[in-house]
Amino acid sequence: QGRKIISCREMQSTQDHAKKLAIQGGSEGTIVVAETQSAGRGRMGRSWASPPGGLYFSVILRPGITLAGAAGLPLVAAVALARAIQPYTAVAPGLKWPNDVLIQKRKAAGILVEMSAEMDRLDWVVIGIGVNVAAASVQLPPEIRRTSTSLAIESTRIVHRAQLLGDILYELEEALDMFQTQGFEPLRKQWKEKSHTLGKHVTVVGSRQSIEGKAVDIDGSGALVMECAGGIRQRVTSGDLFFKGG
């Protein structure tokens, strides 16, 4: 597919730039990529450290799905990202709900999905992806050093960022095509195969409450199904997941 690529050495946030373009009518497939970000954003209002040597980009989508159907998108993106990264790593990446890519239990990449809808019709979606590519452990911010890793630390071969970007975009396109033609089910299956979450005791911290229990399934809309005290099952649609005992 023909794409428009906007590439900058430094940007505040590729996500914010792509969102601005999307609001102005930017076309599906437009990609904004930067060498570093001065105000990179993560999920749940966090910042995303973006030193040089990483891969930071955002892509505009205009998928023909409903707002309700879009709940699975973060997981679809995570499956694509894990597939793209897999050939580079000695140990296969695992997924932490909803959309973190882990290598050896440490986070190597993150995904931020933001969207706008009119009634139930999606207008635009911006998927932002940040991959720790070159960072050595000491270059990661101290507060995430214990829980994060990079492809340089985990990889078996030299990683060329342009190649990696191409690989991710290819997998993303494949996964999104599948999502739009076959629905979430095949991707839910792939997510579960790559899961590093299910079967574990976790706490999910949401904006209103935190829930503790065993992560047992992903439902048909991408929500996490948890088994809590007394065998009660709860569906969790958003939040931050922590593994019990680290």
Of 84 and 111, CB closest to ligand BTN = 111
Q: Is 213 assigned to a binding site?
A: no
CA 187/CA 76 separation, integer angstroms: 6
C-beta of 120: minimal distance to ligand BTN in Å? 26
Residue 107 counted as an annotated binding residue? yes
Q: Is 132 exposed, middle or buried (0-12, 13-18, 19+ CB in 10 A)?
A: buried
Contacts with ligand BTN by CB under 6 A lie at 13-15, 37, 40-43, 46, 48, 56-58, 100, 110-112, 128-130
Helix (H, G, I), strand (E, B) or coil at 41: strand
Q: In what order do the strands lie in the sheet with 55-61?
A: 5-11, 31-37, 55-61, 121-131, 106-118, 100-103, 94-96
* 244 assigned ligand-binding residue: no
Of 127 and 218, the one with the shorter C-beta distance to ligand BTN is 127
189 is in an annotated binding site: no
12 or 221: whose CB is closer to ligand BTN?
12
Residue 96: CB minimum distance to ligand BTN, A: 10
Closest separation between CB of residue 42 and ligand BTN, Å? 3
Angle at 108 between CA 161 and CA 165, to 5 degrees: 25
Residue 163 annotated in ligand binding: no
DSSP string, 188-209: HHHHHHTBSSTTSEEEEE-SS-
Annotated binding-site residues read 37, 41-43, 107
Annotated binding-site residues for biotin read 37, 41-43, 107
